[in-house]
Structure 1
Amino acid sequence: MSDGTPSDQLKAAKMRMGAFAKSTPDLMKGFAAVSAAATKAGHFSAADRELLAVSIAVATRCEDCILYHVEAAKRHGADEASLIEALEVAVEMGGGPAVMYAGKALEAFRAL
């Protein structure tokens, strides 16, 4: 990823998001509700939903999103083999650039 360890980068991303949330609390309250609904276990487990988010983050090349959702996937019990399967789908959908970001996601998973 960029500078520092994945843990440092995740902390910085969360700080940036927190600062933005303070600037626009109504928007972020709504976004938090969307996020909670999107990651709530249903047919897919919470870990599966976070792996879907990782896959999309890789395909769209959002480094902060990768860190955020990798950490959440691990917290919900996702294992490395499941992450790799999600990353395979990301590469299918995102092509060559997604290969590079998939490597970043794997690196973050192993470090967090």
Structure 2
Amino acid sequence: MSTAKDTLKDAQRRIGTFAKASPDLFAGFARISKVATTAGAFSPAQRELIAVAIAVSKGCEDCIVYHVDAAIRHGATEAELVEALEVAVEMGGGPAVMYGAKALEILRALQ
């Protein structure tokens, strides 16, 4: 059974492989990511929590682990994650409950 850290490393490895195969695409995606995570009205942690909520509602496990890790690095707390997950569940229904539980488990495993 892989850990959250293993899942994160695997996702990062796959992204790196794809980035090498399509550098022009990832140069553009990197610019988008920089804008999306730069502080403005929302802090970088809040922006990452929004990304987690979207990942939960979309059911993307690799996205969840990637953005939970980033949220932690930007100082997000478990209480803040739970609030973001509450919104994700409102928007995503039952499947978001299941992925929200995974996101909380990932946060606890990565801390």
Answer whether TM exceeds 0.5 for this pair.
yes
Identical-pair percentage: 66
Tell me the SS of whatever aligns to 1:67. helix
Residue 102 of structure 2, aligned match among 101, 104, 107: 104
Q: CA deviation at 1:25?
A: 0.2
After superposition, the C-alpha distances for 1:7-50 in whole angstroms (9 at most, x for unaligned) are 00000000000000000000001001000100101110000000
Specify every segment of 5 or more residues in structure 1 that has no aligned partner in the other structure, as ranges: none
Aligned pairs for 1:49-88 within 5 A: 49-88=47-86
1:91 is matched with 89
1:7 is matched with 5
Q: How many residues align?
A: 110
Pairwise CA RMSD of aligned residues? 0.5
TM-score, normalised by the number of residues in structure 2: 0.98
Distance in 2 between residues matched to 1:33 and 1:64, nearest whole Å: 20
Distance in 2 between residues matched to 1:28 and 1:93, nearest whole Å: 29
Q: CA deviation at 1:99?
A: 0.1
